[in-house]
Structure 1
Amino acid sequence: MRKILLIFIALIFISTNIVLAEENETLVLKLKVEGAIDPIVADYVARGIAEAKENNATALIIQLDTPGGLDLAMRKIIKDIQSSSVPVITYVYPKGARAASAGSFILIASHIAAMAPGTNVGAAHPVSIEGRDVSEKIVNDAKAYIKSLAKLRGRNVTLAESFVVNSTSITAEEALEYNIIDIVAEDYPSLLAQLDGKRVENKTLKTKNAKIKEIPMNFREEILHIISNPNIAYILFMAGIYGIIFELANPGAILPGVVGGICILLAFWSFQALSITSTGIALILFAIALFIADLKAPTHGILTAGGIISLLFGSIMLINVEKTKFIKISLKVILPSILLTLLFFIFAIGLAIKAHKRKPTTGKEGLIGLVGEVKEDLSPEGMVLIKGEIWKAKAKGDKTIEEGKKVKVVDVRDLTLIVEEV
């Protein structure tokens, strides 16, 4: 009995220690941000910060690999980081990753900035869709913002400013040497070891043996993040245009119209986040009207040429660079799309012109000019065989044509063919 009691007490002691150990275990949450910074990413980061606070996490790590993104989304992420009661560590990882454009702002704004060897940060100069410099007003705004962030976190203000003004880009080791980041870590164990003991405002991080729990994007966020990419949105838009044009050119096909409509709706959902211009949309809609007009009444490509020019300028002017700053539709996407559109309409208009030139093969017009054989004397009426079918016929000029003679159809009156001897 005594042995059973001792075993029971021992089990209670062990289970209590396990529970206490789990309760005292240091928790670090991790978000993975890959691709363009858009409103979906901003919402994802906000959700991660809220969960970190709710779970009493020691810290939140944002694993970052981005070419840049929307200015408004970037600023929302930075505001959430600055107001977070949980320390936020941005970690540019793995090797080959980058924190370019908007990503460099987020890295600098974080409580602790870390990078893996083989990564880079910088190149934050705003550009237009053509790759040219934007207005001085936009550059000055971005410059002032990154300087304020660097000053707030005690980082190298001059070098941070150079990211915007000169599109400077540096390696992880250079970023550490010149006080842009706090840590260079090969991997997560190294990162946690170096974070351990660091002070963030009034907190001392204890992360040496911390448990990292990843918060992945949910299915909705994954899908919306993909279509929020301006290049994907533009491709969807072009696919939608093709679908609608095909439906209008071939009424009743249904499927192209349905698919085209879905693509255009998805594209416009993305465009509303990207801040598009009314001029760009108007030019693209005008191009669509010209394409459809040329299919309905071929003008030997004149309207299509105008449509291509309108589509090109509309695509270039589509995104409002004054508001987005760090995001654009790549010319590598626009130009092939324009070329495919041109080739498509060259082919389609060519077929339409041939169809207009071709003689009709059905109805009244389809019978005129056909040659047949008299099967019953025409005096002047009788029967003829035309393309394997027997027709009532009448000889032109009320002449008589004997059976077996070859005749040609010159007119059709009601259901009677008017023929003459060949």
Structure 2
Amino acid sequence: MSGALRRLIVCGFLLFSGGFSPVASNVAHAATATPKVVVLSIDGVINPATSDFLIRGLAHAAQEHAVLAVIELDTPGGLDTSMRAIIKQILASPVPVATFVSPAGARAASAGTFILYASHIAAMTPASNVGAASPVSIGLPGFEKPVSEPADKAPASVEPGQTQPGSAKPPAAGQPPAAGAGGDTMNRKITNDAIAYIHSLAQLRGRNSKFAEQAVRDAASLSAHDALAAGAIDLIADNLDDLLAKLNGRQVALASGVTVRLATAGASIERIVPDWRSRILATLAHPEVAVILLMAGIFGLFFELTSPGMALPGVAGAICLLLGLYAFQLLPVNWAGVALLGVGAMLMIAEAFLPTFGVVGLGGLVAFFLGGLFLMDSGASGLGLSIPFLIGIALASAVLLFAVGAMAARAHKHRVVTGREEMLGLPGVVTLAGDRASYADVRGESWRIQCREPLAVGDPIKVTALEGLTLHVVRQPFKK
């Protein structure tokens, strides 16, 4: 009995100590399970849709306990707000993040440079480039809005420590640009803020901070091999499989202070592409699309109010107006610019009804154009409103509204064909002539009539007025 009791005690100890517990079983299963790598592909401008897609993708990688999240990146730049939201998610990610500038010929320009520097692992494929992260301005002189410069307009590759031909030598790291070199105070503030931000990322990841500053201050750019030699990236890989093979066994320090060793050899790959939600957001998160939706919504409601009962313009207009306002909510817009766009549209609509000889319409065009110029508080490559676009939309709107006004004016001159006014001038024939009441047949209907002169049955008459249900008529001469 004592031996059986001892065996029972040992079994109970193993059971409650976790030797056979479900938790221990799950841990053992996780240790033997195939490691998973989540791949997120970004090709295009960094905007709110991109930010939403990447944030949800990195959260999914954490839920799936992936050993690595890879961002395949090819971007000309993007919005500062969206870029910072992505970087915050990368810095706080419990899963190591590798940004891979891929495929060959891809670029990590402007906002892409910041994302590359923020990632735990920075990798590039041959024939790709990184850099050109200088803030630039759009708009009329005195009304500039800071944007990320497109890589298409960026200077050629620059070796660390060098400057562009004909340009002044940049100040030492951390020093503000000389007066006149960095534009007005606002542009200097934006540039220095961007430099400090990328400096902090370079220091966090142990990458070349001197090139990072040149990329922001002088729009410097490096090829993949030059970036590796300069210490701006960690490695070069031909493709995703080559990247995972080179990362196997590498140690990565996470924000929690934990250092993990990557086990990417033989890992299963889960590739995530933008879904319908991200594609719709990407379409809406464009100022030109937002302006078109706003104008379509205003015009649709205008046509519904002027022609009640059509339904389709009102329904379509309401949907377009709501989508346009939602698109503006996604973008860093200046709401004064949105208000000017709306006022401009309203003034152009009013021109179709007011006899102002084009004054109100011209004011609407000016308000619409200025609203478009002031619309964006900040932007990026592909996120600005071009002057030709604004002029085209304003002229198209003016032509449409003036055409509607002209048609309304011509219709006003035509004879009324419905209602009480339709009766005026209609011919008829007297059917009953009496002392108390007389009746006539007008348009196939019997009407009570009054006339200042005596009438006889069969006399032709013409309606001159309508009072209640009685027609005032005059006798017409008989036609020969």
Q: TM-score, normalised by structure 2?
A: 0.70
Match of 2:232 in 1: 180
Match of 1:419 in 2: 474
Q: Tell me, in whole angstroms, the C-alpha distance in 1 between the residues paired with 2:105 and 2:441.
A: 79
Task: Work out which of the residue numbers 304, 326, 331 in structure 1 matches 2:361.
Answer: 304
In structure 2, the CA distance between the partners of 1:303 and 1:248, relative to structure 1 (3 Å rule), is farther
Q: Tell me, in whole angstroms, the C-alpha distance in 1 between the residues paired with 2:349 and 2:466.
A: 35
Which one has the bigger helix percentage? 1
Q: Tell me, in whole angstroms, the C-alpha distance in 2 between the residues paired with 1:420 and 1:84.
A: 94
Match of 1:273 in 2: 330
Q: Tell me, in whole angstroms, the C-alpha distance in 1 between the residues paired with 2:277 and 2:263.
A: 34
SS at match of 2:46: coil
Match of 1:52 in 2: 61
Match of 1:340 in 2: 396
SS at match of 2:135: coil
In structure 2, the CA distance between the partners of 1:389 and 1:94, relative to structure 1 (3 Å rule), is farther
In structure 2, the CA distance between the partners of 1:384 and 1:42, relative to structure 1 (3 Å rule), is same
Match of 1:94 in 2: 103
Task: Work out which of the residue numbers 233, 244, 265 in structure 2 matches 1:192.
Answer: 244
Deviation, structure 1 residue 345: 0.9
Deviation, structure 1 residue 74: 1.3
RMSD over aligned CA atoms reads 3.7
Q: Which has the larger displacement, 376-385 or 148-157? A: 376-385
CA contact (8 A) 2:286 2:383 kept: no
- AA of the residue aligned to 2:418: T
Q: Which has the larger displacement, 348-357 or 407-416? A: 407-416
In structure 2, the CA distance between the partners of 1:367 and 1:106, relative to structure 1 (3 Å rule), is same
1:114 equivalent in alignment to 2:142: no
Q: Tell me, in whole angstroms, the C-alpha distance in 1 between the residues paired with 2:414 and 2:356.
A: 17
SS at match of 1:90: strand
- AA of the residue aligned to 2:204: L
1:242 equivalent in alignment to 2:299: yes
Deviation, structure 1 residue 89: 0.8
1:366 equivalent in alignment to 2:422: yes
Deviation, structure 1 residue 237: 2.3
Q: Tell me, in whole angstroms, the C-alpha distance in 2 between the residues paired with 1:231 and 1:44.
A: 22
CA contact (8 A) 2:428 2:443 kept: no
Deviation, structure 1 residue 90: 0.7
Deviation, structure 1 residue 62: 0.9
Match of 1:353 in 2: 409
Alignment of 1:20-99 (within 5 A): 23=32, 25-99=34-108
Task: Work out which of the residue numbers 123, 147, 151 in structure 1 matches 2:199.
Answer: 147
CA contact (8 A) 2:352 2:402 kept: no
CA contact (8 A) 1:311 1:338 kept: yes
1:317 equivalent in alignment to 2:369: no
SS at match of 2:130: strand
Deviation string for 1:92-119 (max 9, x for gaps)? 2234543332222111221222233454
- AA of the residue aligned to 2:135: P
1:290 equivalent in alignment to 2:299: no
Deviation, structure 1 residue 37: 2.8
CA contact (8 A) 1:237 1:264 kept: yes
Q: TM-score, normalised by structure 1?
A: 0.78
Deviation string for 1:383-404 (max 9, x for gaps)? 7676666766666x62779957
Deviation string for 1:3-53 (max 9, x for gaps)? xxxxxxxxxxxxxxxx98992533222122344434454344334334434
CA contact (8 A) 1:234 1:329 kept: no
Q: Tell me, in whole angstroms, the C-alpha distance in 2 between the residues paired with 1:175 and 1:346.
A: 58
- Gaps in structure 1 of 5+ consecutive residues: 1-18
Q: Tell me, in whole angstroms, the C-alpha distance in 2 between the residues paired with 1:165 and 1:249.
A: 55
Match of 2:453 in 1: 398
Q: Tell me, in whole angstroms, the C-alpha distance in 1 between the residues paired with 2:76 and 2:449.
A: 77
- AA of the residue aligned to 2:131: G
Q: Tell me, in whole angstroms, the C-alpha distance in 2 between the residues paired with 1:257 and 1:373.
A: 42
Q: Tell me, in whole angstroms, the C-alpha distance in 2 between the residues paired with 1:310 and 1:281.
A: 10
Q: Tell me, in whole angstroms, the C-alpha distance in 2 between the residues paired with 1:213 and 1:421.
A: 91
Match of 1:253 in 2: 310
In structure 2, the CA distance between the partners of 1:222 and 1:64, relative to structure 1 (3 Å rule), is same
Deviation string for 1:199-252 (max 9, x for gaps)? 434444343433212244555444444433444333332322222222222234
Q: Tell me, in whole angstroms, the C-alpha distance in 1 between the residues paired with 2:125 and 2:394.
A: 40
- Gaps in structure 2 of 5+ consecutive residues: 1-27, 147-185, 254-258
- AA of the residue aligned to 1:113: A
Task: Work out which of the residue numbers 248, 260, 268 in structure 2 matches 1:211.
Answer: 268
Task: Work out which of the residue numbers 156, 159, 164 in structure 1 matches 2:216.
Answer: 164
SS at match of 1:398: coil
Deviation string for 1:335-362 (max 9, x for gaps)? 4433332222122111122222333233
CA contact (8 A) 1:138 1:325 kept: no
Match of 1:8 in 2: none
Deviation, structure 1 residue 267: 2.8
Q: Tell me, in whole angstroms, the C-alpha distance in 2 between the residues paired with 1:223 and 1:351.
A: 37
